[in-house]
Amino acid sequence: MTQMNLAEITEFLDREFPQIHHGGRTFHVEAVGPMTARMRCDYHERHIRPGGTISGPTMMALADVALYVAILAQIGPVALAVTTNLSFNFLRKPGQAALIGECRLLKLGRRLATGEVAIYSEGSSEMVCHATGTYSIPSR
């Protein structure tokens, strides 16, 4: 059972983190469910690095926001839940397409949440990046 639905999380991000949309809306929450979230990062030239591939920082941001969204869906609107660790394995060059981040929480405790994010180029079944991360959840 989730504490926040897709519309509530989108409204929360828009209100609490408007800077995520600086330069235009790029990140979209597509789905939330029990211990899961799916995010989309639209393809845009500002995400391209030399060599014509989507930059690592763009994939890092997608993974970080996907973890945050999956956690919020479970615990409710806790703006001060913060990243304590992120680890990335860049597996292959992503295509010039939107990125899809599929997040799954592995453990959700009272103080820490740990999860993983599989990132794909839209239209491809091959993972381009695998991320794991931990968030610290403040006491209520």
Instruction: Write down the pLDDT at residue 136.
Output: 97
Cα 106 to the center of its chain, rounded Å: 15
pLDDT tens digits, residue range 1-57? 789 999 999 999 999 999 988 888 899 999 999 999 999 999 998 898 888 889 999
Separation CA 2–CA 36 (nearest Å): 10
Instruction: Write down the pLDDT at residue 108.
Output: 97
Pick the CATH number of 6-136 from 3.10.129.10, 3.40.50.300, 3.40.50.620, 3.20.20.70: 3.10.129.10
Phi-psi region of 77 (alpha: psi -120 to 50; beta: other; left: phi over 0): beta
**3-state secondary structure at position 46:** helix
Output the CA angle 93-69-46, nearest 5 degrees: 40
pLDDT tens digits, residue range 82-100? 999 999 999 999 989 999 9
